[in-house]
Amino acid sequence: MCAAPSPLLALREITKTFPGVVANDRVTFDVRPGEIHALLGENGAGKTTLMNIIYGILQPDAGEIIVRGQMTRVRSPADAIAAGIGMVPQHFLLVRRHTVAENIALALPTLPFLFPGRRAEGRIREVGTHYGLAVDPRAAVWQLSVSEQQRVEILKALLRGAQILILDEPTSVLTPQEVIFLSNVLRQMKADGHAVIFITHKLDEVFATVSPFCARDVSSAPSISPPQTSGRWPG
């Protein structure tokens, strides 16, 4: 049997308390290349808190984040992006009157100052074709469906170099057909060795492509270790 690859991301005993509530209690888990983890839990279980800690929006009270074997302080989303961590939030952070390319260019500080949107178009088309994330780079965001806006957020994270991608409740805004579409995108990421963590609180939306599988109330789980249950990915 082959040895499992080293984790891209490891959480060790992550704990976060808000006044009157322990949102995350010593959460420990590993995410390896080519794994898709579903983080399941009821409302208020601490899922978003945990993902916000990984993405540097919140700081843990205790615990360690280890990225590619290195202990990493993720003090901000900029630190997370530099470490190859991307997040697709539940509520998208796009400028509605700007085009897709302009939105993505704004997130890519390495693009040239002049006409950054136009220069981003080629990369958007290339990465979009590879992952099946079809979206017109010249369309204004306000013209796009919610599903298309989600694709823009995924493309943005990938073009920023995310190898570890967090999606917060990605299916809650999608039709069943769009969920199948997203599942194919995640399969391609898996094939490319990315690591994906997606949050859901709906058991019937848990997908067969999920690798080792996390399904715990993270507020009460001292650790999360796969497999906890099995699930089906539509299609």
Ligand X SMILES: Nc1ncnc2c1ncn2[C@@H]1O[C@H](COP(=O)(O)OP(=O)(O)OP(=O)(O)O)[C@@H](O)[C@H]1O
**How many chain residues touch Mg ion (CB under 5 A)?**
1
3-state secondary structure of 76: coil
* Closest distance of CB 56 from Mg ion, Å: 17
Instruction: Give the integer Cα–Cα distance in Å for 158 and 129.
Output: 13
For residue 42, how many other CB atoms are within 10 A of its CB?
9
Residue 220 makes CB contacts below 8 A (sequence gap 6+) with 25
Whichever of 42 and 110 has its CB closer to ligand X, that residue is 42
Query: Strands (DSSP E) along 32-184, which ranges?
Result: 36-40, 62-67, 70-71, 85-88, 164-167
Burial (0-12, 13-18, 19+ Cβ within 10 Å), 114:
exposed
Report, in Å, the least distance between residue 172 CB and ligand X: 9
Residue 30 sits at φ, ψ, to 5 deg, of: -115, 145
The DSSP H or E segment spanning 146 is helix 146-159
Binders in 97-156 for Mg ion, by CB under 5 A: none
Q: Report the interface residues with ligand X, using CB under 6 A.
A: 18, 21, 23, 41, 43-49, 201
Q: How far is the CB of 14 from ligand X (least distance, A)?
A: 12
Residue 231, phi then psi, degrees to nearest 5: -150, 170
x/- site string to Mg ion, residues 35 to 74, per CB under 5 A? -------------x--------------------------
Q: Where are the beta strands (DSSP E) in the chain?
A: 9-18, 21-31, 36-40, 62-67, 70-71, 85-88, 164-167, 195-200, 214-215
48 vs 99, beta carbon nearer Mg ion: 48
Choose the contact partner of 86 out of ligand X, Mg ion, none; CB within 5 to 8 A by kind. none
Minimum separation from the CB atom of position 51 to Mg ion (A): 8
Q: Find the shortest distance in angstroms from Cβ 193 to ligand X.
A: 27
170 binds, among Mg ion, ligand X, none (CB under 5 to 8 A by kind): none
x/- site string to Mg ion, residues 172 to 191, per CB under 5 A? --------------------
CB of 47 to Mg ion, least distance (A): 5
**Is 219 an interacting residue with respect to Mg ion (CB under 5 A)?**
no
What is the binding site for Mg ion (CB under 5 A)? 48
